A and B are shown apart, each in its own frame.
Chain A
């Protein structure tokens, strides 16, 4: 296993273009075990692209990405066995039942059917979903679906978890449980990559915050460090300052005046 000082993810000079548009302009990053990383940035800054590259979903990038010490462009997909992923827009095969979907995902991770089934069932119970385990996912509400996606990302006991806006649609109680789960997992040495636009949550749960803007990392450190540097009180304000956004008052006023102008 990797020791604490040895990075679990190493990214060097990562660049990526879609057509003529350069989305990532050189990302350098070392991530260590047990960190909960709040990965934040404005829409279109390149957050999802970075995560998708690490998952091998986007290819043809320049630079080097190493996960568990292995260069992921080698074509070997074994490293994904130790990764869990909750995408921002989580597609599921929703004509399957919860059981069918989760066991399928478990089996893709290399678990036996019975092991996956057992684990999925227990997790569904803990998320109050035991009654719908054998109903089609298409009949679930948004929050229930999200819980299924989260469960599917945990089945393989991953060492790295990529979470992109994982709480959307979930009720306050489940959110509380889940935040606790994340803290517990991190203390066990798991690494969590948490992307979100809800700054309050990121501020609370992250041990390290990385702010990406226009394809580059513009801030990297714990919340306290960032606070010290920028002299701002909340992560939201730090975010505004670092992304060079300070006219929110003016824009708001203009919006209201246009709304009233009808």
Chain B
């Protein structure tokens, strides 16, 4: 098997592992296997290719490191800026910890929670300690790759700007932080597994992923707009008790202590915490891993105490909004899939979050510049069109599924036409995702802009409905949940941009209509007719063309 440079590096720590009672040679073999597997994460589409593809192997994580280097440029200002070390470094570590935790939970949970390992490897003469050491080292290596790429620019700048001592301190703290995060995450999972079963844990991981993705993208928008960093840097620091609870504060301590020779009690306390807690966490983690592994077994069990449900809201909604029986069936099917499939939620909820926040982001900067009174009388409510941003993405994602192979059922259907399939699915999307969000935003907009915009809100909704059909027409049509997600990441993104022009144009007509007497009402009528026509005609596609 292929030998990896990194393994030869780890060989240097052989003694350390053996002192923990780890069977080093076996651990090395498992690691080697893991790296080979990582290189081969091939999109599922290619798997069916029995003909051996020319080796296009390469670790996708390592390939993505340049992205983190680029992202890491945003940390450079913290190193350059003048100011209290405690303050700027704890902000830097705050960002860093948040990033690493996100990455760890979203990308490496699968490694921590892999059950295959247990059956295949632990049934062989390998003890649990060795396997979990291999798992931990495996994750650690990637964490270090990513952290050092992410902090790389800041580290290099700090070497020239703040000197060698700062650089070394920074480097050591990064290592401590990585240890802390890996141990904390694993302990968190342990805690969850202790009280809940595997399905719950998967749900929790899913929601954490979604929340983090949303806060990353939204936070990026908000921070840039609302805060001025130079202000923060100059605030005088007053120690408070709750600061001891914020891990990123600890990491600011040693810089003050060692470089500025600041021997205040709280600085010493922070520094001590920065050193002791990560080491303690890793020791607890090592001690608890056997428990961790045996609790992992729970991942396969679901507690089974599921409430028996009657038909539910879903059923009645489908009765109200769908005309034919088949349409209702697909409405319910799509609703259930959207609610249950984690990958679908992971891919759509962030864009839902963004289109939720975007309309308000621009309002906020308008308030900041011109004040409330001006805003309420302006035409800024057109911002609500940003809701439509999510439509192309979601329409695209609805075609994919983790279990896309189950789409063979479509071939069994006694249908000749896909109309009911698509109509039912799209209606489910609109009722379950789009409508609740639109109503919520409309209510807030009504508060801000008062009742005068009621008609406009109806027009916007009609426009969006029309936009759904237009998007559907112009995008490649795939039966719902019938393709693998891996295909999704290739191509197709480009079509989104011209589609935005369409909604821009529709919004433009709406804007012009507001300038004309009765313009809005005439436009509304036209839209109503257009929608009826579009929803009737657009979906007549023969199932053979799929």
Interface residues of A (CB under 8 A from B): 18-19, 55-60, 75, 77-81, 83, 85, 87, 91-93, 95-96, 100, 103-105, 107-110, 135-136, 138-139
Contact = CB atoms under 8 A, between A and B. Distances in A.
B118 interface: yes
Contacts of B125: 77-81, 108-110
29 contacts: A18-B301, A19-B303, A56-B122, A56-B123, A57-B122, A57-B123, A58-B297, A60-B294, A79-B125, A81-B125, A91-B115, A92-B116, A93-B33, A93-B37, A95-B36, A95-B41, A95-B42, A100-B1, A100-B36, A104-B33, A105-B120, A105-B124, A108-B26, A109-B125, A135-B50, A136-B40, A136-B47, A138-B47, A139-B47
Q: What are the 5 closest A-B residue pairs judged by CB atoms, nearest first? A: A95-B40, A80-B125, A108-B124, A91-B116, A85-B123
A87 B37 CA distance: 22
A139 B50 contact: yes
B68 to A, nearest CB: 25
Q: Which of A55, A60, A138 has the most CB of B within 10 A?
A: A138
Nearest to B126: A108
A81 B121 CA distance: 12
A93 B114 CA distance: 11
A59 B294 contact: yes
Contacts of A93: 33, 37, 116, 120
Contacts, number: 78
Interface string B266-309: 00000000000000000000000010001001000101000000
Interface in B326-349: none
B240 interface: no
Nearest to A153: B123
Contact of A95 (B37, B122, B294, B303): B37
Contacts of A59: 290, 294
A83 to B, nearest CB: 7
Contacts of B47: 136, 138-139
Contacts of B126: 77, 80, 108
A55 B122 CA distance: 8
Contacts of A80: 123-126
A61 B117 CA distance: 21
B119 interface: yes
A109 B124 CA distance: 6
Contact of A96 (B29, B33, B297, B301): B33
Given A96-B36, A100-B36, A135-B50, A83 B123 contact: yes
B52 interface: yes
B213 to A, nearest CB: 27
B127 interface: yes
Contacts of B119: 57, 87, 91
Contacts of A95: 36-37, 40-42
Given A59-B290, A108-B125, 7 more contacts: A58-B294, A80-B124, A80-B126, A95-B36, A104-B33, A108-B126, A136-B47
Contact of A91 (B41, B49, B120, B124): B120
